[in-house]
Structure 1
Amino acid sequence: MSELTTLHDDGVLELTISRDGAGNSLDHDAVLAGADALHRVMRGQLDARAVLLTGQGKNFCAGGNVAKFAAADDRRAYLRGLAHDLNTFVSALYATQRPTVAAATGWAAGAGMSLALHADFAIGGPSTRMRPAYPGIGLSPDGGMSWLLPQIVGLGRARTILLRDEVLDAPALLEASLLSEIVDDDQVRTRARAVAAELAAGPTGSYAAIRRLLLASSSHTLDEQLIAEAESIADLSITGEGVEGVDAFLAKRIPDFPRARG
């Protein structure tokens, strides 16, 4: 583990994506360290049951470090390399099949907005703002924004947000389901950490299955989705968590999913 990745005792893997300074731009070392930690989860080397994305400074992440873009000897090769590493990080977020929470303090712009969108729960405050930011510097989205934003808000709204480079404040983000919850600004990290802990204590297999089904739904026919649901619920019914959940329901007690996982 590095200073940018922390596995808490309750099973929450905290990944820092931006450092204090440089406007809280996306930190390349943080992207590499985060991807490495997520791959270790997939290999069974880290027992993480939820992921928490945070920034070190006042902002979650204000996007890429534009000054470094400009200083690169070969901008195309440099940007392609950065995009590749960010793609690896985003793909690993999905491949781990762990629920993800973002502590969206302050600005989430550019790649920071992309990463906030990939979280299952994005917690913000009254000062939270999101902005695509790409048109402002003559570039196009990365980090999966053009894939996920239309799925959340619809193609028409996504087109408007991206082409007009809209700044979305906290109420607009909540209405558009780009934020899950708004708390006081000084409570964003605390609340996000608590949500991540709740998820880490929950039914990991159930969460993973729900995420897979939701992601597949847009490309499945109804019949295909019904079959996938039937297979999934049947498979989960014989897992430790599935047995514990049913037994606890019948016994009128709170299920102990961590114990059931062994």
Structure 2
Amino acid sequence: MASNAESPAAGPPPGTGPGSGDLPAVGFEFADGIAHVRLDRPDTRNALDTAMAVGLRDAARRCAEASGLRALLISGAGPAFSVGGDIGVFAEATDHERAALLRGMAALYHEALRRFLDLDAPIVCAVHGAVAGGGLGLLYCADLVLAAEGTRFALGYGALGLSSDGGSSWFLPRMVGPKRAAELYFEQRMLTAHEAAEWGLVSRVVPAEAIREESLAVARRLAAGPTRAYAEMRHLLNDSGDRSLTDHLAAEERAMFRTAATADAAEGIAAFAGRREPHYQGR
């Protein structure tokens, strides 16, 4: 899927702050408690290849190992967030090579997605231009997804004679319902940004020119919040579909016990009682 949108990549450009460093086809920055992972193959509209899969896996590892991580922002450089797999690379491979290539890429990419899902900090994903195929996997990992006006969403696997990766067949039935998921798969349905918001794929739509500033502002707000409580919240939400109510209530009790003993809980309660703004330290 292609898009003519020329929205800027969200958030600050990867730099040389603490924890920063070059990764294959991925920009990474970590400063002031916020990690920024940016897909960085703009000439291919951030098509996923082996190098990018490696870069995302390593970026996810850095996030998991980062001391003091309080929020993560994921964005894409250039005219699109990601058009999915790199068809040019697939077309050059023989049938045997293509099968091995896709399996290897999927294994690397899926490791990255699992690590992002397991993070103890909230994730903001800022998308623009186009989000297709495997690129949707990063959207599923996020707690909040901001979409620029004009963004288009599609799976596109059926047009290539492929099944799917990136967790689409697991996440989509839970997010949009099985019938709508089937429509995306079998009818090659393309969604506008506002349709994606209506279906529950994104949190909200923002003007294309504001996606950079708005997504960074959201990440900063989350980074200033009670990080350990946010960690418990995201794990409870992500696990809710796989537990019975009885088991989930027990998980809520354990999470409440853990957060009640934190310094941020003491600060939040004191601030509420004192009618002032809380100042959370993420501990």
User: What displacement does 1:87 show?
Assistant: 0.4
- Residues 18-97 of structure 1: matches in 2 within 5 Å? 18-43=40-65, 45-73=66-94, 74-97=97-120
Whether the aligned pair in 1 keeps the contact of 2:53 and 2:108 (CA below 8 Å) is yes
Secondary structure, counterpart of 1:246 in structure 2: helix
CA shift digits 1:92-126 (9 cap, x unpaired): 10122321111111100111122223221111122
Cα pair distance change 1:254/1:31, threshold 3 Å: farther
Residue aligning to 1:172: 195
Greater alpha carbon shift after TM alignment, 238-247 vs 164-173: 238-247
User: What displacement does 1:46 show?
Assistant: 4.3
User: What displacement does 1:17 show?
Assistant: 2.1
Whether the aligned pair in 1 keeps the contact of 2:228 and 2:259 (CA below 8 Å) is yes
Greater alpha carbon shift after TM alignment, 125-134 vs 247-256: 247-256
Secondary structure, counterpart of 1:92 in structure 2: helix
CA shift digits 1:182-228 (9 cap, x unpaired): 11111112211111111111111111111111122212221111111
Percent sequence identity is: 34
Give me the TM-score of the superposition, normalised by structure 2: 0.86
User: What displacement does 1:32 show?
Assistant: 2.1
> Quick one: distance in 2 between partners of 1:245 and 1:28?
45
Higher relative contact order (CA 8 A, sep 6+): 2
Q: Decide which of 196, 203, 207 is 2:219's aligned counterpart.
A: 196
> Quick one: distance in 2 between partners of 1:145 and 1:205?
28
Greater alpha carbon shift after TM alignment, 33-42 vs 140-149: 33-42
Residue aligning to 2:127: 104
Which amino acid letter does the alignment assign opposite residue 63 of structure 1?
G
Secondary structure, counterpart of 2:45 in structure 1: helix
Whether the aligned pair in 2 keeps the contact of 1:123 and 1:181 (CA below 8 Å) is yes
- Residues 237-252 of structure 1: matches in 2 within 5 Å? 237-252=260-275
User: What displacement does 1:8 show?
Assistant: 4.2
User: What displacement does 1:29 show?
Assistant: 2.9
Residue aligning to 1:159: 182
> Quick one: distance in 1 between partners of 2:119 and 2:83?
25
Whether the aligned pair in 2 keeps the contact of 1:114 and 1:145 (CA below 8 Å) is yes
Cα pair distance change 1:37/1:240, threshold 3 Å: farther
2:22 aligned with 1:2, yes or no? yes
Greater alpha carbon shift after TM alignment, 104-113 vs 25-34: 25-34
Which amino acid letter does the alignment assign opposite residue 214 of structure 2?
R
**Aligned residues between the structures:** 259
> Quick one: distance in 1 between partners of 2:48 and 2:36?
16
User: What displacement does 1:136 show?
Assistant: 0.9
Give me the TM-score of the superposition, normalised by structure 1: 0.92
Secondary structure, counterpart of 1:54 in structure 2: strand
Cα pair distance change 1:30/1:75, threshold 3 Å: closer
Whether the aligned pair in 2 keeps the contact of 1:100 and 1:120 (CA below 8 Å) is yes
> Quick one: distance in 2 between partners of 1:152 and 1:62?
21
> Quick one: distance in 2 between partners of 1:16 and 1:235?
33
User: What displacement does 1:139 show?
Assistant: 0.6
2:237 aligned with 1:217, yes or no? no
Cα RMSD, aligned residues only: 1.7
User: What displacement does 1:61 show?
Assistant: 0.5
Could you list the runs of 5+ residues in structure 1 that have no partner in the other structure?
A: none
Cα pair distance change 1:191/1:27, threshold 3 Å: farther
Which amino acid letter does the alignment assign opposite residue 64 of structure 2?
M
